[in-house]
Each structure stands twice: as structure tokens, then as C-alpha cells.
Structure 1
Amino acid sequence: MSKWGKVAASLAAAYLSMSVLAACGSGNVLRTSDPTPMTTAGSKKEISISIFDRGEVSAEEGNYENNRWTKWINEQAPAAVRWVPVPRNEAQTKLNTLIASGSAPDLIWEYDRNYIAQLANQGAVQPIDAYIDKYSTTFKNYLKAHPELKSYLTMNGKMYALTTIRGIESVANHGMWIRQDWLDKLGLKTPTTVEELLEVARKFKEGDPDGNGKADTVPISFNVNGVSIMRSLFMTNENQWYVEGDKLEFGRVSDRFAESLAFQKRLFDEGLIDKEYITDKNFQRSTQFWTTGKSGIFLGSWNMEAVFNDLKKNVPEARMTALEPVASKFGKNGLFQEAPPSIFVAFNNKMKEDKIEAAIQFLDWMLDKGWQPIRYGEENVHFKPVNGIPQTLDAALFRKQVLYAKEYAVVHQYEQKPEWFSVMAAPDALSQEYAKEKAKSLTVALKNKYRRDIPYSPSFTEVSQLIATFGPIAQQIEAKVVMGGASMTAASGMEDIRKEWKRLGGDIVEQLVHSWYQQNKSEFK
């Protein structure tokens, strides 16, 4: 039942239930204008689940604890749920505080496997193998169909979490964009190598592509993903481990990282990126260069609808299109792509068996059919099926009433395909223009495989502590390299970075990681 073509018929019952609930409001739209406290339906067991607070719930909709979807879930699900919001950017800190105080929710989830492994090592969450075997039907069958997930869920020889496969639109993450109209105006070809990218950026700086007669363009701008993209072009990532020979090497001390740092320095020295980017913490300034038509290459995400809309509002003639990653001397690497597992859902160690049974029944229901209305909304209100594809009826209404609800589908079988986007998008010209570019961008984002030598990193406390201590020190050195002009080269900066790694115990951690790799590498193939 993982694809829309297979589930269309089964959705009818779910949408009928939604329609019944909707009838309590005005017309056929679920109402939350007057939120009421959550109630436990009948004799349902109550469980609590963490949820990321991304600030996407409008006041009219309610809040993350109480809105149209929390009410619908508690009407339909086999358990009543109390949702515990944690700020997205501080989720682990907040969860750690709740765990330490004994007030953590029953189910704790994160995208970060290392964090769940850390909780398992601390005894904060419990193994669930026996409970899945005893109480689950849907997830147990799902895991048999996706055996590749088992190694991700296994920690210390036992299964500590549930997860589901990411859809391809979720596997894809980072993306590069370019102003096609600027390329055309200046008679330039799409760059395919790092050197060609540099040359195009120089032309964008010197050639007045925006036509205002001023040398005021910033050729390359980016969001939080930008520096990581610069690393990916050289087949490295600062916090990944890579197999070199028969050993693991930490990305931030590799020769490839030195090359990426030298590239970043060239961009800065030549004025091809904003001189203030290091202090532009939220990347608002950098993004504004793009949305106001002052930048020609953007390093960001594969899906950038809001940025696209802002650019078109300011520069209607702009043609923003996806750019395939360019090749370096190490070859062509895909930009960052997520590992196959989606959310890791772990069980608080304080949970008793009756609550565990209720939680597993809830997760089975969510995985089977509960996720569908949560992701698509109500039929004939938020979408209509077109050839098995959910077509959005009103983009603004969907963003307001449905988009935030994805957080509740902690297990799901949601996946989009590039050919869906034009059908799913609203019919107006701008939405359709972006849908076409979005489809191209997803295809481009998945065209080249992202280098990931091992499926997940070792989760030893010594490793995480070293990386946490080393990271800020390395960042300071890197900033000096990039901004230091002739006073500091990438080579000398890397020498300092490697000295700090060794000073903090890098050699000892590498031995620990090597031993871990030798013990586990047979499972990685």
C-alpha cells in the first residue's frame, strides 16, 4: 500500500471519517477557530509523542498540541495522543532536559540516528524487538519488505527504534540553482566543472547580467547548505567518515577537505561570494541577493518554492533552473542526500507494557492509513485525485491548514515523483512554472550518487564528544583561511586543523573507529 495507485480505494474510509468530523464545522472544512482541550476518546490508552515545533501552525489553526489534525487523530487512531512540541533547532537539547527531569514523552523521535543511539547507550530508551514481534502487524510486515532498515535500527545487538523508508523527495536534500536567463544573455554555457563554475561566476560579476549598469552583483549566494555543497563537490563532508584503504578517515581532516577549503577561499578572494557571509548567521542577506536579482548561482535545497516565488515577484523575467553538481578533480559527486531511513521513533525506558502495546497499535495505524489524510488533506477541500495523484486545489489553503500536519506522521509511506508536481500544483501560471522546475530539480538532485561510504557513523560517546569539541575550533581556523588573504593558505590551515584533531585525541578515536569498522563492515555491504 506504499503507492498512491494502490491506496486510492482505501482512502475512501479515511476521508469519509474526515468528512464526518468536518460536518461538525461550517460547510466541509474542519474548524479549529475555537480550539478545545484534547479529550481521550472512550477507553483509549493515552500516549505522548514528541513533535518538532517549526513555527508553522497559525493562531487560527491552534497550536501543535491542539488543532484540527490532533483532534482527527484522536478520533480515528486506536490510542489518544498528547503531543509534546520541542523547537526544531533545539530539539535534542530540549529532549535531553525532559529526559533528565523524568518528564520526557513516551515516544521520542529524531532524524539523527546517532542521537537515538546515544539515548540507547544511556538507557533512556528501551529495546523493542520482542514488543514488535508480539503486538505489531503492519510494521512487522513492513520491516520484512524493507530488510535494509534493520541495521539502522539495531544498536548494541537489539532494535531500539522504528522507522520507514524516505520518499525520493525526502532523500534528495541539497540543490544548486542558476539563472538561465543570465547564461543566455552573456552567451555562456552551463558549467560542468569546478573551473567552469568559477569562470561563469566571474562573468556574472563582470558582465552586468542584471543590466543596471552597476558592478553590484554577488555571483554566488547560498543558504545554510551552501558550505556543505562546496564540500560535496570535492567528495567530502566535514562530519562524515570515509573508507580510505581499509580504514575510516574523518572528512574534516582529509586531503579532499583541504581542496574544498582552497576552493572556498578562491571564491572569497575573488569576490564571487558575499564578503559578509560568515557573519550572515541566518543567511537572510545572502538569500536576499538571490531574491532581488543580484545573484546568479544559488547553493541551497532542491526544493525552493518560496525563494522562487520571491525572485519572480521582484524579477518576473528571471529563469531559475536547477544546476547539476559540477565535477572536481575527484570526479562528480552528488550533493548531500539523506540515508534511506526517515524518522527514528524510540520508546522511553519508563514505558510499561500496556502503553507500549498502545503505542505500537498507534504506529501500525499511522503506517497503514493514518498518514494519508495528514499529508494530503481532505478530499475536495484541499485536493482532488487526478489519475491517482493528489492535486492541490488551493495552495494557500493547503499551506495554512495541512502543511504543518506532516509532523504528526512519524511513520508513513509518503512519496512523491517528479511527474506528480505539475498535477499536484495549483493551476495558476506561476505555480505551474515552478512545478516544472521542481520536477527537473528533483531529477537532477538524484542523478549523481552522493558519496556515503558507510550507512551511518559510529555512535561512541568518545567520537561524539571529540567532534563536538573539535568542530568549533576547526570552524575558527577555516574562517581565518577563507578571510585571511595571503596571510594564511588552505594548506597551512589544514595543518593547524590536523594538529588540533590530534591534540584533542583524534588518534585514539580513530583507533576506536577502526576497530568498530572492522567489526561491522560486513553489514555495510
Structure 2
Amino acid sequence: MKSLFVTGLSASLLAACTANPQEPSSQASAGSAAGPKKEISISIFDRGQVAAEEGSYESNRWTKWINENSPALVKWVPVPRNEAQTKLNTLVASGTAPDLIWEFDRNYIAQLANQGAIQPIDTYIEKYSTTYKNYLKEHPELKSYLTMEGKMYAVSSVRGMDAVANHAMWIRQDWLDKLGLKAPTTIEELLEVARKFRDGDPDGNGKADTVPIAFHGNSVAIIRALFFTSENQWYVEDGKLQFSRTMDRFGDSLAFQKQLFDEGLIDKEYITDKNFQRSRQFWTTGKSGIYMGSWNMENDYRDLMKNVPGAQMVPLEPVASKYGKNGLYQETPPSILTAFNSRMKEDKIEASIHFLDWVLEKGWKPLKLGEENTHYKLVNEVPQTIDSDKFRKEVSYAGEYAVMNQYMPKPEWFPVMAASDDISQAYAKEKSKSLEVALKNKYRRDIAYSPSLPEVSQLIATFAPLAQQIEAKVITGGASMTAQAGMEEIRKEWKRLGGDNVEKLVNEWYQKNKEQLQ
């Protein structure tokens, strides 16, 4: 089963699965021909994107469409995106977790496996699946990510290039032009441009009110990546694995973050701006000139254009540090990993596998694209959005329900896919460039995935909040704590919690699994 989007989108394939999402189709009756549908429950990230008139994450046009067309009745269990693991842990502990639990984080799935909260599914896939079983044969690169201690604990589909790309930087080209500046290519140039944005009144209002750098989402990871480090990855140094948060490079990233804070180049309240609404407002109202977020920031672009019609938001390539130029965070081949609750009985497992087969084969298309001739039309086999506002309200949130998919868009598709209005077309061109820029430099990842040892998960879970507290002191504490002093405290906490022993276990694991970690 080759990906349906590799060579273009077939009109006949789409026509077969784009029945009006608010009306039952013949597929519904076909799916229930053998008897009543089984009810299953699935977690879903609540990103706050369902408009009030659309309903809620639990009930909307797409949840109804799924229940009418799929071989199961699905109850969706929303968990806040920024607190997903905490919420899921609570549900698991109380015995009320949904049947299917998904996350992007393999370490979290491994943690659930170690706890016995999820179950191996090898035999069930072999017994009940058709579509996914064949898909795995065509994509053997997925297997190692789904396997823990020799057993398969999750299912996943391959990411399209648009989903491999993740973090990105944007810059106001009109601000650069106004101040006679060039796009920065190094850390030093980035600092200099940010200072000019702070002091040069680029918005022309005669006030010193600009916040040069704004964040969206986990943008601190972008700063880390510039120094070839992260918060929770393991890197190979001198033939051994070392934990990123204890390495010198991490200290360099912390020092840079502190410098940005001390010089007023980032918002003083960014640490407490948990949902990044304040930071996003700086960008969309034209008060910031550098934006650290994801490669696709369409809503932010549109809101900026409404507030500042002459703004030019363009992608910015990662700048080089003393370590060289690293790509910003890029995802591994598997998309979300969906695991099966250990409390599930075989009849529900069977129903869930049939549902996942359906989603992977055809259910994902309307969830990603909407309804043909209502939300999109085919132009040279590429789906083109008819009305961007209508799509944004009625479809953009629906992709969350496509827990597996075969969506493989290409950069050159974006201008064709976009609506014909000027803003949609202007953004589509920048979006194409942004995807290419996001994938231009490879993101450093020394091993395919982190060790799933329970000792590692337990240590990191305990260590992370302590490290975050120290880091916050370093960044906001002025002269009271240097980055070097902060790193000494971080390393001290790591050792106190058993870091030396965990490193020993991790390196034994590395030597044992080195070949499949390439």
C-alpha cells in the first residue's frame, strides 16, 4: 500500500470517502452489518482550537462523522496539550484512562509499558489487522520505535515531511529593511539584530516598547538546539552516552538565554507565560521582530497581517554558534504513538484495530482535508482550500482525530493548496520556504530514541522540575547566579538523585542496542 499522497491525490480515492460529515453514509451501515458497533475511547490533545459553534473536542461534526463512517463508536477523551502526560497519568492511576492512549513522546509510552499500564499488541495486530499489518511491512523503519523489550507496544504511521519539520524561527523582513540590517547568521549577529530591534523603534511609534524576540510553544528548545543540545536527549561523546542537561553545551545555552533576559531582548514574564498568549500577542500586534515557534505559523501570520498590513514575516534559518549550525528540532519517522490500555479485553482490542485500519486506509483524508467542493477542490490532483476562514473554523482542528494517516504534502503544493486570496497566497509562498528552511540543516540526534529503562524515566521525572527551578534562578536572578554556578547545582542534583548509576545502566543499554539505534 504505497502512500496515497506520494504521487498526487487521486480524485476517485477522495470522492469515495468525503461524504458530508454531518450525514450518515453507506459506510456506516456497512460497518454495522455484522452487528452493533463496539464503543472504544481514545485520548486527544485539547489545543483549544474548536470554535464554540463547532461544539467541543468530545462532540462536533467530525466526531459524528467518525461514528457514522468508521467500524467503531468512538468516545474522545480530551487532555490539555501542555499538561497531557500529567492528565493521562491521573487517569491511568484512577483506572479511568481511555482504551487507546497516544503521545508523541516514545519515552512516555515506554514509561506506561514499564508501569504495566499498556499491553503488547503484536499478536493482536497479526490476528485482526489487514491494512496496518501490510503498512508495517512497507515501513519497517517504524518497528524499532514501537518495540520495547522485544514486544510491540504501540502503532504509528510515517510522518510526512511537513510533520518531520517542527521548530523554526521567523523574522520581520520589513524591520530589517527599515533599519538597514541583514538577516543574522550567527549567535553574535542575532544578538546585534535583537538589540537594534529593541533600540531602533522599528514599528515607528516613537516608543521604546518592542520585545525583540517572542516565543510560541516550547521555543526554549530552539535556543538549546543552536548549541547542539536539548533538555532530555542523550548524546554520544567519546563513545559513551551523556545526558544533555548535564553537559557543557547545555550551560552555554543557559548563559545565552540569561543574556537575552538580562538585556531585555525577551519578555521578562516569559517563564510564567505558560500558554504563550502574552508572547504571541507581542508578535501578532507588531511588537516583536523575531519569532521562535514552529515552521507553520499560519494563524499567527494572518493575525499579524490584520493588525499590521505591511508586515513581512519570513522564515529565518538557524544561526550558527561556536559549535556550528544545527537544525532546529525535527521529529523522528513515526508520528504519534498509540498504545492499548492494559485493562482492554480482546473484543475492544479487535474493534480498536479495525478502527485504526479504517483511519489509516481512508478515514484520515476528510479529517485532514475536509469535504470536497465544500472545504477544498482538486487542482492537478492537489487539494486546494476554497475558503481559508471556513477551513480554519470547520476543519483545522479535525486533523487531531486522524491518529494515523498517509498525508504526504510537498512544499510546492502549498501555493496550489491555499485559497486564492492575497493573504493566503502570500503565506503559502512563505510556508513553502519555511518547510525547506526547516529541513535544510539536519537536527542532531545521536540515537534514534532514548533508553526506556524505568530507572531513567524515574530519575528524569524527579530531576526535571529541580533543574527547571535552578535554570529559572540563573535566567532571572541577575548577578546572583551565573550559568556556570547553575550548572554546578544541576550536576549536583543529578548525582544526588543517582545520575552516576543511571548513566552506567544507560551505557550498558547503549552497547547492547547500538546497532538498532542508528
1:524 aligns with 2:509: no
Looking at structure 1, the residues matched to 336 and 484 of structure 2 have their Cα atoms a distance apart, in angstroms, of: 39
Return the offset for 1:19: 7.8
Q: 1:391: which partner in 2?
A: 384
Q: 2:16: which partner in 1?
A: 13
**SS of structure 2 residue aligned to 1:14:** coil
Alignment TM-score, normalising by the size of structure 2: 0.93
Letter in 2 for 1:122: Q
- The equivalent position to 2:478 in structure 1, one of 482, 485, 492, is 485
Q: 1:27: which partner in 2?
A: none
Looking at structure 1, the residues matched to 273 and 43 of structure 2 have their Cα atoms a distance apart, in angstroms, of: 31
Q: 2:67: which partner in 1?
A: 74
Looking at structure 1, the residues matched to 399 and 417 of structure 2 have their Cα atoms a distance apart, in angstroms, of: 16
Looking at structure 1, the residues matched to 283 and 94 of structure 2 have their Cα atoms a distance apart, in angstroms, of: 45
Q: Is the 8 A contact 1:376 1:402 kept in 2?
A: yes
Q: Is the 8 A contact 1:110 1:344 kept in 2?
A: yes
1:424 aligns with 2:425: no
Return the offset for 1:315: 1.7
- Specify every segment of 5 or more residues in structure 1 that has no aligned partner in the other structure, as ranges: 25-38
Looking at structure 2, the residues matched to 119 and 503 of structure 1 have their Cα atoms a distance apart, in angstroms, of: 25
1:323 aligns with 2:316: yes
Deviations 1:404-454 (A, max 9, x none): 221221111112222122122221111111111111111111111111111
Looking at structure 2, the residues matched to 97 and 228 of structure 1 have their Cα atoms a distance apart, in angstroms, of: 27
The 5 A counterparts of 1:137-286 are 137-286=130-279
**SS of structure 2 residue aligned to 1:126:** coil
1:414/1:269 CA distance change after superposition, 3 Å: same
Letter in 2 for 1:490: A
1:94/1:485 CA distance change after superposition, 3 Å: closer
1:454 aligns with 2:447: yes
Q: Is the 8 A contact 1:382 1:398 kept in 2?
A: yes
Looking at structure 1, the residues matched to 490 and 133 of structure 2 have their Cα atoms a distance apart, in angstroms, of: 46
**SS of structure 2 residue aligned to 1:278:** coil
Q: 1:33: which partner in 2?
A: none
Looking at structure 2, the residues matched to 139 and 185 of structure 1 have their Cα atoms a distance apart, in angstroms, of: 54
Q: Is the 8 A contact 1:51 1:84 kept in 2?
A: yes
Looking at structure 1, the residues matched to 163 and 36 of structure 2 have their Cα atoms a distance apart, in angstroms, of: 37
Looking at structure 2, the residues matched to 216 and 356 of structure 1 have their Cα atoms a distance apart, in angstroms, of: 57
**SS of structure 2 residue aligned to 1:144:** helix
- The equivalent position to 1:400 in structure 2, one of 393, 404, 407, is 393
Q: 2:408: which partner in 1?
A: 415
Return the offset for 1:59: 3.7
Letter in 2 for 1:14: C
Q: Taking every aligned residue pair, what percent have the same amino acid on both sides?
A: 73
Return the offset for 1:6: 5.3
Return the offset for 1:471: 1.8
**SS of structure 2 residue aligned to 1:18:** coil
After TM superposition, where is structure 1 displaced by more than 6 Å over at least 4 residues in a row? none
Looking at structure 2, the residues matched to 362 and 23 of structure 1 have their Cα atoms a distance apart, in angstroms, of: 16
Q: Is the 8 A contact 1:40 1:46 kept in 2?
A: no
1:324/1:68 CA distance change after superposition, 3 Å: same
Q: Is the 8 A contact 2:414 2:428 kept in 1?
A: yes
* 459-468 or 95-104, larger mean C-alpha shift: 95-104
Looking at structure 1, the residues matched to 350 and 420 of structure 2 have their Cα atoms a distance apart, in angstroms, of: 45
1:317/1:363 CA distance change after superposition, 3 Å: same
Aligned length: 510
Alignment TM-score, normalising by the size of structure 1: 0.92
Looking at structure 1, the residues matched to 62 and 404 of structure 2 have their Cα atoms a distance apart, in angstroms, of: 16
Q: Is the 8 A contact 2:126 2:133 kept in 1?
A: yes
